[in-house]
Amino acid sequence: MTRTLGPWVIKGTARVYQSPWIEVREDQVIRPDGKAGTFATVRMKPGVSVLALDADESVYLTSEFRYAIERESIEVVSGAIEEDENPLDAAKRELREELGCEAEEWVELGVVDPFTSIVNSPANLFLARRLNFTATERESTEIIETIKVKLLEAVQMVMDSRITHGPSCVLILKINHYLNAP
């Protein structure tokens, strides 16, 4: 079935790969210039990213080996939204699992689309405050180190590329602006 998507006409779609986390699709298209072609996309589960901030403006980050980039990555708490969850419930679950933390105050700070050219992977952004720490509930594949730094140090870590995870960078900078804007 032919359908229109913005200036593109989609003539057909083939699912190339699917797992519980991602779907790779290849579309037969008529491009905006009128020529036939293919366009491949990746669709990932929507996610959440959470920055936990305590009363003295310290933030809690994670450091974890990331298979895809073949190195350790310092990030805010992040994870997928399950089918039966809304973004806030997913954020609360991820914070509890990865940091062993619950928050009494939540601020929703929007959505970021990290890879808009070929990947559909929205991340809902949250600030968590008024923290209470308990035990972590990490998955068996997660070997996570918790890192506590001041918010301004986290901002510097973004600026000098010690933090490169896109949603983490956006969230840290948004929270710094949110807390310090006139």
Please state the φ and ψ torsions of residue 166, each to the nearest 5 degrees: -50, -55
Chunked in runs of 10, what are the mean pLDDT values of the chain (182 residues)? Answer: 94 96 96 97 97 97 94 97 96 95 98 93 98 79 88 98 98 97 80
Residue 53: its pLDDT value, please? Answer: 98
Residue whose pair of structure tokens reads 């594949």 in the numeric block: 141
**pLDDT attached to residue 1:** 83
70: left (phi over 0), alpha (psi -120 to 50) or beta: left
Distances (CA, A) of 158 to 34, 76, 154: 42, 11, 6
Tell me how far apart the 2 most distant CA atoms of the chain are, in Å.
Answer: 58
Please count the CA atoms within 13 angstroms of the CA of 157 that sit on its side-chain side. Answer: 27
Report the pLDDT value the prediction gives residue 138, as an integer from 0 to 100.
Answer: 67
Counting every residue written for the chain, the total comes to: 182
